[in-house]
Structure 1
């Protein structure tokens, strides 16, 4: 093992924070508003921490061979991104990224263009960034003797537990909205079936644009009824999809337009 357990934990935390800073800055500039990225409450993205730490360990023996470093980086990063996407879908019923529009994608989870980008990123990371980070970690390890690693485990462990409860609550809320949306459409369909000929065009139009209609007549369908973390997820991940609540996904897009 090229790193101690304590070093691995601190590396994980460091790159989680770096990943959060990168995503938050990039997405804030791209979306023209502040986007608090990350799945957890705190300012870190564990997916980057896990990915980079895994890559550093997997590429340790080939770090001086640029071609092998590039290829191994592509393979490890792609596998990790695929597994992370599958995990979010199966455990939390959520999809935070979707590469379905890119050529050669696999189930929208990974795509060749993205994997190529990861390969270049791994080379830059291992050859230029990691040596600087490692010197800082060596200094920290010599002075704290693993206490920072223990603090990271406590803080991020607590954050993970709180986030799990928050996401579970978010899923429950989306299911409630889903049921209400379906019920609303059913009522409109029943009214349309019983309507007089002169009333049918207006009701048909309301049914066709049911998401705009329900937002107009039912103020409870609003983002301010979600808690802070739920609103953050919706706003910061415009492509977020709740896989078992398709009506909620449509309402979400309408709500985001009004923000």
Structure 2
């Protein structure tokens, strides 16, 4: 229950913060449901790791900062290696490590852990104790089944998204090759100049020549991922990364 509760709290925090920062509603989270398991894993581990120092603010801050940063780093590696995706990038922050973690973010996590352990967790634990006295663990079982189902559905969805991005890459490459062919075979200088201009501005030309509106060629979860994670990069779909934001700005 701690894992699920903090997964929901993490989702609420990210959704609220990113919606304010990006000036539009951002449905955060990697799964379909309103929870971010990385927060659940991180917080439950932090609560265990800091249990013996929960009354020492200095060590609570230091250990919390380290554990949270380790989780963030390996979560980034996992997404990159398994799903070929990079959802956040701190490359523009000082002292970052491969763009996965950065000192400024780690300091933020440390402060967050202090607030969490000293002020939030006691209240959360009271609610969970009350819930378990009524449900005797059945709610936890129900939640587990739901999250496992969601995880399986998300894996299939992300794999489809990965295939879709590669298809976009191929579609863009074919479009550019057609323009190059027309440049080589153009009979009139005016036509050759027009095709060169279209190739130079291939993003606008490509979107103009799509038979369907861009958003109709993507599933809901794929559109959500693009909108909610503007810094997301698909590691083996270079052309898609260049055009993904244009899919919605040129409706």
Which TM-score bucket, shorter chain as reference?
Answer: over 0.9
Matched, 1:56 2:68: no
Post-superposition offset of 1:197: 4.0
Pairing 1:92-103 to 2, within 5 Å after superposition? 92-103=83-94
The residue that corresponds to 1:148 in the other structure is 139
- Picking from 116, 121, 128, the partner of 2:107 is 116
Matched, 1:229 2:232: no
> Any idea what SS the aligned residue of 1:233 has?
helix
The residue that corresponds to 2:230 in the other structure is 238
Pairing 1:157-168 to 2, within 5 Å after superposition? 157-168=148-159
Say whether the 8 Å CA contact 2:176–2:202 is kept in structure 1.
yes
Say whether the 8 Å CA contact 2:90–2:100 is kept in structure 1.
yes
Post-superposition offset of 1:115: 0.4
Say whether the 8 Å CA contact 2:226–2:245 is kept in structure 1.
no
Say whether the 8 Å CA contact 1:224–1:231 is kept in structure 2.
no
Say whether the 8 Å CA contact 2:85–2:233 is kept in structure 1.
yes
Say whether the 8 Å CA contact 1:51–1:80 is kept in structure 2.
yes
Counterpart CA distance in 2 for 1:258 and 1:37 is: 23
Post-superposition offset of 1:66: 0.8
TM-score, with length taken from structure 1:
0.92
Matched, 1:204 2:196: yes
Deviations 1:90-123 (A, max 9, x none): 1111111110111111111100100010000001
The residue that corresponds to 1:215 in the other structure is 207
The residue that corresponds to 1:45 in the other structure is 36
Counterpart CA distance in 2 for 1:232 and 1:79 is: 27
Pairing 1:122-137 to 2, within 5 Å after superposition? 122-137=113-128
The residue that corresponds to 1:176 in the other structure is 167
Q: CA RMSD in A?
A: 1.4
Q: Comparing 36-45 with 81-90, which one deviates more in the overlay?
A: 36-45
Counterpart CA distance in 1 for 2:90 and 2:215 is: 26
* Structure 2, unaligned runs of 5 or more: none
TM-score, with length taken from structure 2:
0.95
* Structure 1, unaligned runs of 5 or more: 1-9
Deviations 1:24-55 (A, max 9, x none): 12222222222111111111111111111111
Post-superposition offset of 1:221: 6.3
Say whether the 8 Å CA contact 2:94–2:103 is kept in structure 1.
yes
Say whether the 8 Å CA contact 1:62–1:68 is kept in structure 2.
yes
